[in-house]
Amino acid sequence: MKTVLITGCSSGYGLETARHFLSQGWNVVATMRTPREELLPRSERLRVLPLDVTDAASIAAALQAAGPIDVLVNNAGIGLLGAFEATPMDTTREVFETNTFGTIAMTQAVIPQFRARGAGVVVNVTSSATLAPMPLVAVYTASKTAIEGFTASLAHELEAFGVRGKLVQPGYAPTTRFTSNGQSRMQGLIPEAYAPFAQSVFASFGQLQAVTEPSDVAEVVWRAANDTSARLRYPAGADAVALAGAS
């Protein structure tokens, strides 16, 4: 029986992905900053562990507690919506610490066991913002685009050791906590000069016909984790699939 470790399981994609792998009979190590076992079904195949991907000691402790794993899903991330001009550099660094460096640190920590075993999969969850230019998410897009390049290179680097790298690119998901989770860091990021433009952008979001549900992402992460081909990118959600086809 295979084991997957998933980061960022307290809500959204991570939570639904943990549920999906459980339903498929896998052992699941669901990690989150503050463990909440009640979020997931009771199962002997489930462990819920604390993990802060921005803290090296936390990463080491979580991986030691998890034991050998077959798949790492780097899903933990934070959102940011606002005008770049008004975004403090400290906020930019905060986004990169989780979305970029957190993913890189987790990946580096699991590679030795994958390489030694001659098998393993790293699935990095990015965003459809990497597929087409989108306004008011410049910092967020940069943090996710960095992981696109990182994963593409890493997949080549690890192929000789039997380790696969995969990218899952979710579309716009209005049902997740992307915006609410980042409210505090987004305050003041839409200056008055940008207000009319921002209002038009927000209105366009509300008119989208095709959006992404967490279940879409969970299914695609599952597919990527089990795909033994050399395919790298997997758009998730009808809007992401459409963007990928147009790019």
- Average pLDDT on 40-66 reads 98
Upper half-sphere CA count for residue 23 (Cβ side, 13 Å): 11
pLDDT, tens digit, for every residue of 128-143?
999 998 999 999 999 9
End-to-end CA distance of the chain: 38
Catalytic: 140? Answer: yes
Query: Cβ distance 124 to 151 under 8 Å?
Result: yes
Q: Which of 45-54, 207-216, 232-241 has the lowest mean pLDDT?
A: 207-216
Catalytic residue among 140, 172, 194, 234: 140
Torsional sign, CA 234, 133, 190, 88: positive
Counting the structural domains of the chain, the total is 1
pLDDT, tens digit, for every residue of 78-104?
999 999 999 999 999 999 999 999 999
- Average pLDDT on 166-187 reads 73
Query: Cβ distance 239 to 208 under 8 Å?
Result: yes
- Higher per-residue confidence, 203 vs 121: 121
Position 211 scores a pLDDT of: 84
- Average pLDDT on 221-227 reads 98
Q: Is 106 exposed, middle or buried (0-12, 13-18, 19+ CB in 10 A)?
A: buried
Range of the structural domain that residue 31 is part of = 3-246
For residue 9, give the nearest of 246, 61, 95, 22 by alpha carbon: 22
pTM (2 decimals)? 0.94
Q: What backbone phi and psi angles, to 5 degrees, belong to 72?
A: -110, 125
How far is Cα 65 from Cα 56, in angstroms, rounded to an integer? 14
Query: 3-class DSSP state for residue 48?
Result: strand
Measure the CA angle with vertex 76, ends 70 and 78; round to 5°: 165
CATH of the domain at 198: 3.40.50.720
pLDDT band at 29 (very low <50, low <70, confident <90, very high): very high
Position 179 scores a pLDDT of: 53
Whole-angstrom CA distances from 101 to 13, 59, 106, 110 are 19, 12, 8, 14
For residue 166, give the nearest of 236, 73, 101, 241 by alpha carbon: 73
Query: Cβ distance 147 to 129 under 8 Å?
Result: no
